[in-house]
Structure 1
Amino acid sequence: MKLTIREIAKMAGVSPATVSKIMNNYAGISNETKQKVMNIIETTGYQPTFSAKSLATKKSNLIGLIYAGKINVELNHPFFNEVINSFKKTVGSHGYDILIFSNEKFNKERGDDYLPRSRHYQVDGCLLIAGEEIESAVYELDQSDIPCVGVDIELKGQKSSFVLTDNHKVSSNVVEHLYLNSVRDIGYIGGMKDSIISKLRTEGFIKTMNQFGLSVKEDWMAFGDFHEGSGYEAMKKILAKKPYPRAVFAASDMMALGAMSAIREHGLRVPEDIALIGCDDIEACRYSDPKLTTVKQDKEKLGKLAAYMLMDIINGDHESKSVLVDPELIVRESCGVHNIKKLRA
């Protein structure tokens, strides 16, 4: 039979609170009482329950993981999966476990009540992963006293910080690379227009095109939702009229892979007819045919930074931080710019 802290206290002739204080190295307890309690614990092999530890330390060592969007990015999303793995390894090495919050509505009354659930499970903090169409409940949690760190979502709370890739640089690196390789006719496939990340990448694309004196053509711009199917449909829209762009930047690798399928279906080749560049550097980029040129986001670094930033807040550092991580252009076969031919109407 598993002993309880009350039974240990009874055996030692002290209160349960005294046993708890001794187990957590509180001052103010005589050496004789400490030794007596510790001898009983050692003899009986007593192990405190999770709830007893939490009550004593005021910490649960639990971190809530929330996919903060009505359009769920899911656990198997190739970009966020790598970020979360890095985060998990880092916080795990410091004794934290992760509790995944569902954002499906089990009933109409409950809705997406992240703050009440965070309090119910007594999480020490939350990691918020951005999806599309961020729910208002996310910002309610952000404004609370629960420590939060966002990845790809800007948080404003006094106990919140966020980390994201420098998304203006994501787009500027692509346009600059194409410009330096004599490509002037550039199309763009963005994510949902209302999403923060898509807005930043679109702004970066337009700003850099203007800086180089390149035309931003409405017929060569389309928007999806960062997933493969939307990239396919967006590329079909761009190909609906001639002339075609000589290169297309898709703001996610998944959309770029979808665009690649649409280009082939249209009887065109990548990169000979249209060069293609994605963003994220997911593993599939190395195995596509042709291999996909992409802007690499340092997913391991994003996850590790998010972990340390959250643990800092949990441990009393209340200063809000916003950290931008530099991207890196990875040139592969899909952007063989020297092999691109000019397509005419």
Structure 2
Amino acid sequence: MALNIKTIAKMAGVSVSTVSKIINNYSDVSDETKARVLEIMRETGYTPSNSAKTLATKKSNLIGVIFAGKLNVDFTHPFFVEVLNSFKKQMGVLGYDLLFFSNEKFQGEDADYLGRCRHYQVDGCVIISGEEIEPSIKELDESDIPCIGVDIELFGEMSGHIMSDNYKMSSKVVEHFYLQGFRDLGFIGGSKESEISNMREAGYRNAMESFGLPARAEWFLNGDDFYEASGYKAMTRLIEAGSLPRAIFAASDQIAIGAIQALQEHGLNVPDDMSIIGCDDIEACKYTTPKLTTIRQNKEKIGRLAALMLYDLIHKQSPVSSFVVEPELIVRESCGSNTHHYGYFG
């Protein structure tokens, strides 16, 4: 006889839902019934599978992890890896496993995240922002599956999102540049399709306007993504154009690292010839030459909050909500002072 939850229920003379409640440690089963079922499970050697736990409760204890976008981030992205590690730890404490969705084969209309979520009966999803977001993300956002977006805004009835305050981080950068005596400022963003990059650029431009600083079009560039090669290519274009700002805000640390490499290969010094500030505060910032001044995003906090928010959505314990997390300027070596024109601004 094949052992499954239905077999155990028949042997114990109880319903399948009763066995499922016992497996999932529900309290509304009598001690006598619970003891009888557990004894049968022990005698038969039956070990409940995840599908058995799901059968009556409709809960799989699985959380879908989706790296959204045709130009998606992945496990090589140090910022999202740290966020996801924090998310995983908190979800583990709450009793959930993670199921990672592949989108290498499923692109565009074929992504069908909602259909795949229903197939695997996930209890909820965390959606991590990429670029050129697929239409199927919107379909999932508008469904009844609880979703939390990280660096992507979700507005469905069962969705929420969390991100750093992208406008404030840009304002902090402009303020720091201004205090150091810099007035000629530039910006290197990710792709033009990236909402996060666009937020950071908009915040940067707004802050510059507040300080009365002109935004020269030739000093505002977009790369292909948030990685080093993108920063390297953007900075190379800027150098070859023959006109350089004195300070640049890069929309990610990796863009900043690539930009610094391009400057150094062209015989320019950071921060003497150009100051650079990155964004994220990945581990590599401490080991670059020079060490990178950056905006720290609280990756551990973002991951934990995403997990707790999703848990509350799944259990309907609180209204759907969204949060922004306070960024922090971390001053290192890649941003100096423009002492020649403005004196000391330490």
TM-score (ref. length: structure 2): 0.92
Higher mean alpha-carbon deviation, 1-10 vs 218-227, is at 1-10
Instruction: Note if 1:75 corresponds to 2:75.
Output: yes
Conservation of the 8 A alpha-carbon contact between 2:181 and 2:341: no
Amino acid of the residue matched to residue 191 of structure 2?
M
Shift of the 119–18 alpha-carbon distance from structure 1 to 2, 3 Å rule, reads: same
Instruction: Note if 1:232 corresponds to 2:236.
Output: no
1: CA distance between counterparts of 2:193 and 2:18? 55
- Map 1:174-253 → 2, pairs under 5 A: 174-224=173-223, 225-253=225-253
Conservation of the 8 A alpha-carbon contact between 2:66 and 2:125: yes
Deviation at 1:34, TM superposition (A): 4.3
Deviation at 1:320, TM superposition (A): 2.4
Deviation at 1:336, TM superposition (A): 2.1
Q: Secondary structure at the match of 1:123?
A: coil
Query: Which residue does 2:326 correspond to in 1?
Result: 326
Q: Secondary structure at the match of 2:334?
A: helix
Conservation of the 8 A alpha-carbon contact between 2:20 and 2:57: no
Instruction: Note if 1:312 corresponds to 2:315.
Output: no
Deviation at 1:24, TM superposition (A): 4.8
Conservation of the 8 A alpha-carbon contact between 2:4 and 2:52: no
Conservation of the 8 A alpha-carbon contact between 1:64 and 1:99: yes
Query: Which residue does 2:136 correspond to in 1?
Result: 137
Query: Which residue does 1:103 correspond to in 2?
Result: 103
Conservation of the 8 A alpha-carbon contact between 2:165 and 2:326: yes
Deviation at 1:106, TM superposition (A): 5.2
| Gaps in structure 1 of 5+ consecutive residues | none
2: CA distance between counterparts of 1:280 and 1:84? 14
Q: Secondary structure at the match of 2:241?
A: coil
| Gaps in structure 2 of 5+ consecutive residues | none
Conservation of the 8 A alpha-carbon contact between 1:273 and 1:340: no
Q: Secondary structure at the match of 1:76?
A: coil
1: CA distance between counterparts of 2:336 and 2:230? 24
Deviation at 1:4, TM superposition (A): 2.6
Describe the superposition over 1:63-87 as per-residue Cα deviations: whole angstroms up to 9, x where unpaired. Answer: 0000111002111211100000000
Higher mean alpha-carbon deviation, 144-153 vs 22-31, is at 22-31
Amino acid of the residue matched to residue 299 of structure 2?
K
- Map 1:17-36 → 2, pairs under 5 A: 17-24=17-24, 33-36=33-36
Instruction: Note if 1:267 corresponds to 2:267.
Output: yes
Deviation at 1:304, TM superposition (A): 0.7
Conservation of the 8 A alpha-carbon contact between 1:271 and 1:339: no
Conservation of the 8 A alpha-carbon contact between 2:290 and 2:334: yes
What is the identity percentage for the equivalent residue pairs of Structure 1 and Structure 2?
A: 58
Deviation at 1:30, TM superposition (A): 6.4
Shift of the 340–322 alpha-carbon distance from structure 1 to 2, 3 Å rule, reads: farther
Q: CA RMSD in A?
A: 2.3
1: CA distance between counterparts of 2:158 and 2:200? 27
Describe the superposition over 1:164-209 as per-residue Cα deviations: whole angstroms up to 9, x where unpaired. Answer: 0100111111110010111111111111222211111111111111
Equivalent residues, number:
341
Describe the superposition over 1:129-175 as per-residue Cα deviations: whole angstroms up to 9, x where unpaired. Answer: 00011111101100000000000000010000000010011111111
1: CA distance between counterparts of 2:181 and 2:29? 77
Q: Secondary structure at the match of 2:160?
A: strand
Shift of the 216–121 alpha-carbon distance from structure 1 to 2, 3 Å rule, reads: same
Conservation of the 8 A alpha-carbon contact between 1:61 and 1:123: yes
Q: Secondary structure at the match of 2:174?
A: helix
Query: Which residue does 2:116 correspond to in 1?
Result: 117
Deviation at 1:276, TM superposition (A): 1.0
Shift of the 192–49 alpha-carbon distance from structure 1 to 2, 3 Å rule, reads: same
Q: Secondary structure at the match of 1:316?
A: coil
Deviation at 1:29, TM superposition (A): 6.3
Query: Which residue does 1:159 correspond to in 2?
Result: 158
Deviation at 1:246, TM superposition (A): 1.1
Shift of the 174–7 alpha-carbon distance from structure 1 to 2, 3 Å rule, reads: same
Shift of the 46–265 alpha-carbon distance from structure 1 to 2, 3 Å rule, reads: same
Conservation of the 8 A alpha-carbon contact between 2:148 and 2:154: yes
Q: Secondary structure at the match of 1:239?
A: helix
Shift of the 339–269 alpha-carbon distance from structure 1 to 2, 3 Å rule, reads: farther
Shift of the 175–7 alpha-carbon distance from structure 1 to 2, 3 Å rule, reads: same
Higher mean alpha-carbon deviation, 217-226 vs 285-294, is at 217-226
Query: Which residue does 1:337 correspond to in 2?
Result: 337
